[in-house]
Amino acid sequence: MSWLDLRYARQQQIQRLDPVTDHCQICHLLAGYEFPWDITRSLELAMLKTYCVPSISQLLDRTNEFHHHTQKRYDDTGLLVAEILKWGYDSDRGRESIRRMNAIHGHYPISNEDFLYVLSTFIYEPIRWNERFGWRLFAETEKLAIFYFWLAIGKKMHIRDIPSSYERFAQYNQDYERQHFIYSDSNRRVGESTINLFLSWFPAWCRPLFRPCVHGMFDDLTLAAFGYSNPPVAVRNLVENSLKLRGHVSRWLLPRRKPDFFTDSKLRSYPDGYELNDLGPTKMLSHLNHSPKQE
């Protein structure tokens, strides 16, 4: 078998699967083997974009979780999503992760349309990222599998009126952003707390250099909703071209033999490992761990 055959063997394996019935397996392969870094980064961008909606950012701002426990909130979100991607939503750990999410969300007055928008970002931000920076493009089978995967999870989260087609939900996502991305001080505060978290992962001397690069990832609607000015064209080009270069280089790497899920990372919040019972807002953990289990 040639190097090229090895590099694209997993894509060929995915192409033999059905996006409707095999979407869990396809998403497992995409998130764990084909695009682990890209999917993590695209979901970080998705998370930031949800803060452009005042009804979402005001709720997060009031809880103070994103200001006082930013790293834990980030790690918990990543772990819950990764547990479902790694094990599937019908596994024991997948079902427990969804129960955990439902219990956390059940404490807050979140509108169904906000739930719908957040769900849509988990589908379309990874796809858009892939179109810009992927080492190869998602095939139609893979894009549909991502849609059906999150459609099933949305139903398990009791989200109502989820558009039943890939195209209709993509349109909902775009229409929602045009209508609801409005500047609010809470957008700025929650966004700043999260961006500061990302920057804290780098040495202090280079953080001021990286900040405009984060802004360079945002489209005009997102920048306006956060109250940021447009970064210089040179910064946008640097970010865009650097990520495209990474994609080109990745194309020539040997395929991953071992999975790389967020659950396998050494996390700042859980240096000694974690249990699902550890995940959730700090003030709510005791209640969550003693509440009746429900999906």
To the nearest 10°, the Cα dihedral for 290, 81, 33, 149?
110
At residue 39's C-alpha, the angle toward residues 81 and 62, to 5°, is 50
The tokens describing 229, both together, are 């000015």
CB 57 within 8 A of CB 111: no
What's the pLDDT at 1? Answer: 60
pLDDT tens digits, residue range 153-188?
999 999 999 999 999 999 999 999 999 999 999 999
What's the pLDDT at 282? Answer: 67
Mean pLDDT across the chain, nearest whole number?
92
This model's pTM is above 0.85: yes
The tokens describing 8, both together, are 């694209």
Looking at the predicted structure, is the pLDDT value of residue 288 above 70?
A: no
Question: What band does 284 get if pLDDT is binned at 50, 70 and 90?
Answer: low
CB 216 within 8 A of CB 235: yes
In our burial notation (b when 16+ CB lie closer than 10 A, e otherwise), range 82-108 reads bbbbbbbbeeeebbbbbbbbebbeeee
Q: Is 218 left (phi over 0), alpha (psi -120 to 50) or beta?
A: beta
Q: Per-domain residue ranges for the chain?
A: 17-252
pLDDT tens digits, residue range 4-20?
677 888 999 999 999 99
What's the pLDDT at 239? Answer: 95
Closest CA to 23 of 109, 198, 150: 150
At residue 141's C-alpha, the angle toward residues 77 and 37, to 5°, is 35
* Of 220 and 107, more confident: 220
Alpha-helix runs per DSSP H in the chain: 3-7, 9-15, 23-29, 36-50, 54-63, 65-68, 70-87, 92-105, 112-133, 140-156, 166-180, 185-200, 207-215, 220-226, 233-250, 285-288
The tokens describing 128, both together, are 């858009």
Determine how many CB atoms are found less than 10 A away from the CB of residue 62. Answer: 10
The DSSP result for 191-229, as a single string, is HHHHHHHHHHTS-GGGHHHHHHHHHTTS-HHHHHHHTPP
DSSP class of 33? I
Query: Distance between terminal CA atoms of the chain?
Result: 46
What's the gap between Cα 5 and its chain centre?
Answer: 30
What's the gap between Cα 75 and its chain centre?
Answer: 12
Question: What band does 107 get if pLDDT is binned at 50, 70 and 90?
Answer: confident
Residue with tokens 């998370």: 47
CB 187 within 8 A of CB 225: yes
Report, as an integer, the average pLDDT of 115-130: 98
Looking at the predicted structure, is the pLDDT value of residue 292 above 60?
A: no
Looking at the predicted structure, is the pLDDT value of residue 21 above 80?
A: yes
pLDDT tens digits, residue range 27-69?
999 999 999 999 999 999 999 999 999 999 999 998 877 778 8
Report, as an integer, the average pLDDT of 221-226: 97
Closest CA to 97 of 106, 110, 84: 84
* CA-to-CA dists, residue 193 to 38, 174, 190, 224, angstroms: 22, 25, 5, 17
What's the pLDDT at 283? Answer: 63
